[in-house]
Structure 1
Amino acid sequence: MAAVHKGTCFCGAVEIEAEGDPVAMGYCHCDSCRHWSAGPVNAFTLWDPAKVRVSKGAEFVGRYNKTPASDRQWCTRCGGHLMTGHPGLKLVDVYAALLPSVDFKPGVHVNYGETALRMKDGLPKFRDFPADFGGSGEMVAE
């Protein structure tokens, strides 16, 4: 049986569950993620949307779509960020910090061309996205 990872918003009103393992894990350096997270980089875990659900507090989930590429979700009680759906990719990003039982092993940096925080960790760094995710596939140096 696959592991079920559980997490909550900041106040605990919204609980989420993710089943199994993420499809991918890494860091996003794009301007949108940095502004949304209020940090220099966003640590992501990407999941098949069928493996992620709100198990409590769905009535407190707010949504914002800056672009059709992202469906950002947060708790309307505390403002705690939960996840971002990426309909075009058919994936959902559950923020790595929300699922403490996931063994976070980043494999890639995306949108490193926009970085505000250089990270010298030896991981592949894409200027934007890998080609199979609609990006240029161009790599950049650390």
Structure 2
Amino acid sequence: MNRSTYKGQCFCGSVKFEVSGGPEGMGYCHCESCRSWSAAPVNGFTLWNPDSLTITEGAEHVGEYHKTENSHRKFCTRCGGHLMTDHPGMGLVDIFSAMLPDLDFEPGLHVHYGEKVLSIPDGLPKFADLPGDFGGSDQQLPE
């Protein structure tokens, strides 16, 4: 993975941020919550150490919604644009792959594939929920 600084912003540009270093992991999430939040059949995620993230502009416009204690979703209060999701139990922040246009997105797995609405036969591991290291069953599903 390339190690650098990547910049992102909300839809209207009121909130700007940067993340430094390299992601802890990248992949696709198929859970109902991510699909509903992103309005898409699958969500590309990049997981980062929270210390590598800096809001560089517009921190006062960052709103937060907790559907569950596992996912604290952040958005711009001006345009509603999605920014990232804190995962306190994992100690990681998910910066949606689309928010980092200069990052080479190199997914390594699919999570919550048991909830999929779109099959993606790409040869990557497909976990029914999450890998065991992240509190899941570690069960993998066929493509």
Q: Is residue 50 of structure 2 the alignment partner of residue 27 of structure 1? A: no
User: What residue in structure 2 maps to residue 62 of structure 1?
Assistant: 63
Q: Distance in 2 between matches of 1:91 and 1:41?
A: 20
| TM-score normalised per structure 1 | 0.98
1:66 counterpart SS class = strand
How many pairs are equivalent? Answer: 141
AA of the residue aligned to 1:66: K
Q: Distance in 1 between matches of 2:98 and 2:17?
A: 12
| TM-score normalised per structure 2 | 0.97
Q: Is residue 132 of structure 2 the alignment partner of residue 131 of structure 1? A: yes
Deviation at 1:53, TM superposition (A): 1.6
- Long gaps (5+) in structure 1: none
User: What residue in structure 1 maps to residue 100 of structure 2?
Assistant: 99
User: What residue in structure 2 maps to residue 15 of structure 1?
Assistant: 16
| RMSD, matched Cα | 0.6
Q: Distance in 2 between matches of 1:112 and 1:53?
A: 31
- Long gaps (5+) in structure 2: none
Calculate percent identity across the aligned residue pairs. Answer: 59
1:132 counterpart SS class = helix
Deviation at 1:99, TM superposition (A): 0.5
